[in-house]
Amino acid sequence: MAKTIQEINDKIKKGKAVVVTAEEIIDIVKEKGARKAAAEVDVVTTGTFGPMCSSGAYFNVGHTKPRIKLGGGTSLLNDVPCYTGLAAVDLYMGATAVQVNDPKNSVYPGDFRYGGAHVIEDLVAGKSVRLKADAYGTDCYPRRELDTLIRLKDMNEAVLFNPRNCYQNYNVAVNLSDKVIYTYMGRLLPRLGNANYCSAGQLSPLLNDPLYKTMGIGTRIFLGGGEGYIVWNGTQHNPGVKRSKNDTPRFPAGTLAVMGDLKQMSPEWLKGASFTGYGVTLTVGIGVPIPILNEQIVRYTAVRDEDLVAQVVDYSKNYPEVVPGSIAEVTYAQLKSGSIELSGKTVPTGGISSYNRAKTIAGLLKERIQEKQFYLSEPVAGLPSVDADIQFKMLNERPAKQH
Amino acid sequence: MTKKRVVLTFPTNQVSQPISYHLVKDYDLMLNILRGNITPNEEGRLVIELSGKKQSLDAGLEYLKGLGIEVESLARDIKWHENKCTHCTACIPTCPTQAMSVDRESMEVSFSKERCIACELCIPVCPFKALEIQF
């Protein structure tokens, strides 16, 4: 019995929609079967809360009197440089930007205590940040310097715009070398001292819609505590990887580009993160509702951690040197148990993405839908899927001629 | 038998004192060094666990204080800021004493002060600075 998004929205409006989380649907499908579950359940909510480096926000800070052209100059927010290659008073702050005086890894491993992601978190928390700018001055924008405090509510627009979030599956990182290494997957202890993973597994948005049957451009989502949209596929979107029988990818695959009004968001769901020896990143909370349009979709949402696999990759040599190959394939159920077996050794596991918070997000989104505060949207276009023939390219370096 | 974990901060002139010898020999205390950072002619810090009769323990600590060594209880050394913790579990594999632990059902992280030996291994691992060393 197929349903439409319009029918589901009518049910939400009447307070009659049946909404469950991607965790709760597992037992429902197990007990009632996919056919009955698809008839009874209208929406399944997913969630994820993990570091997503390809994130940032753009701002229109308002014009000064006399006018200044920040575009093409230098602008710092709390000493973190913004991208200024836009119009006069539009700035883009990237999550991974670091303060101008940060020693970075010159004192290894660097702390990276404050960066773009922290500026975004501070702004969302309602704090004032210092905008310091130098401009070159023009006839129409004569002013050359600016040094002011600014809050989110002072700005005309503040928009979170993340080119790549929500990775559909990810590597499990280990270290085969004899020394400690510091990576974006955390600190990895020598000789398989630990294994770090980064996915919400059975709650993760794209693992519940493996072939992008419902998520597309225009899908309304929970983003950073507010409402946002999927606006494109994310960068490095790579649907063509090997998949399991349940259609979920066994390697990192699809990604999402997302966007939303920063002024609606909350510091609880957008958090600056400092990875020792690596850098700064933004931990983003995302929840995507999946309309249960048919039996196949409900079967996808009932996927369990034991049915989802990830590749164990060595980050001491293979990852940096781009040597293909996986040490082992493990399930998220194994990863979440606290240890995995690798080469006859029991290796403790650590998460980089918070399952606990992913669960909270799926629950919050469920509540919002039940309370008629959140309606589903019809995507205007789909995301490229397995038939799109996308090739994931490395950079083909062609050395420029020396003059 | 009483047990106490303390942080000793030595002034420069006391670094060369053989305190462990005296604590064992004169005060009949068992001494377990949890962490040490002492260099000659500089200030030093030692985290130790002392156990013995309560009376001997108190006397031993008095002896240390008498030498001008600062004695602080270890209990307040690592602070877990629960409000900053996102329960990601990145700290879990590095904690040698399971002071940081996870409920595997809810995947919620918790911290046990009693188990913590203030080894500080968790400090650089937390991306949210939820763990803080307080000396």
Q: How far apart are the first and last CA of chain A?
A: 69
Residue B91: closest CA among chain A residues belongs to which residue?
A350
pLDDT of residue B76: 58
Rounded to 5 degrees, φ, ψ at A154 are: -80, -20
Q: How many CB pairs under 8 A join A and B?
A: 80
Mind listing the pLDDT tens digit for each residue in B43-53?
Answer: 788 888 889 99
Which residues contact residue A375 at a Cβ distance below 8 angstroms, ignoring those fewer than 6 apart?
Answer: A9, A12, A13, A220, A369
Mind listing the pLDDT tens digit for each residue in A279-288?
Answer: 999 999 999 9
pLDDT of residue A320: 98
What mean pLDDT, rounded, does chain A reach? 97
Rounded to 5 degrees, φ, ψ at A274 are: -110, 115
Q: Using pLDDT thresholds of 50, 70 and 90, give the confidence band for residue A310.
A: very high
Provide the phi-psi class of B52: left if phi over 0, else alpha when psi is between -120 and 50, else beta.
Answer: left
Mind listing the pLDDT tens digit for each residue in A50-72?
Answer: 999 999 999 999 999 999 999 99
Residues A253-277 have a mean pLDDT of 98
Tell me the CATH class for B2-73.
alpha beta
Å between A271 CA and nearest CA of chain B: 8
Please give the radius of gyration of chain A, using alpha carbons only, rounded to the nearest integer: 23
Rounded CA-CA distance A13/A374 in Å is 10
Å between B19 CA and nearest CA of chain A: 34
Residues in A touching B92 (Cβ below 8 Å)? 338, 348-351
Tokens representing residue A342 in the block: 């690798």
Cross-chain CB nearest to A194 (options B86, B93, B129) = B93
Q: Is A196 on the interface with B (CB under 8 A)?
A: yes
Hey, is A68 helix, strand or coil?
Answer: strand
- Taken in order A222, A225, A226, A229, the sign of the CA dihedral is negative
Hey, is A18 helix, strand or coil?
Answer: coil
Mind listing the pLDDT tens digit for each residue in A149-177?
Answer: 999 999 999 999 999 999 999 999 999 99
Instruction: Judge contact between A132 and A76, C-beta under 8 A.
Output: yes
> For chain A, which residues make up each domain, given as ranges?
1-387
> For chain B, which residues make up each domain, given as ranges?
2-73, 76-135
Hey, is B90 helix, strand or coil?
Answer: coil
pLDDT of residue B46: 84
Residue A239 has pLDDT above 90, yes or no: yes
pTM for this prediction = 0.89
pLDDT of residue A206: 98
DSSP string, B7-75: EEEE-GGGTT--HHHHHHHTT--EEEEEEEE--TTS-EEEEEEEEE-HHHHHHHHHHHHHTT-EEEEGG
Tokens representing residue A222 in the block: 């929970």
Placement of tokens 């909370």 in the chain: A285
Q: B86, B121, B125: best mutation site toward chain A, by most A Cβ within 10 Å?
A: B86
Rounded CA-CA distance B122/A207 in Å is 31
Residue A106 has pLDDT above 80, yes or no: yes
pLDDT of residue A317: 97
CATH topology (fold) of B76-135: Alpha-Beta Plaits (3.30.70)
Rounded CA-CA distance B130/B85 in Å is 5
Is residue A140 among the annotated active site residues? yes
Q: Using pLDDT thresholds of 50, 70 and 90, give the confidence band for residue A342.
A: very high
- pLDDT over 90 percentage in chain A: 99
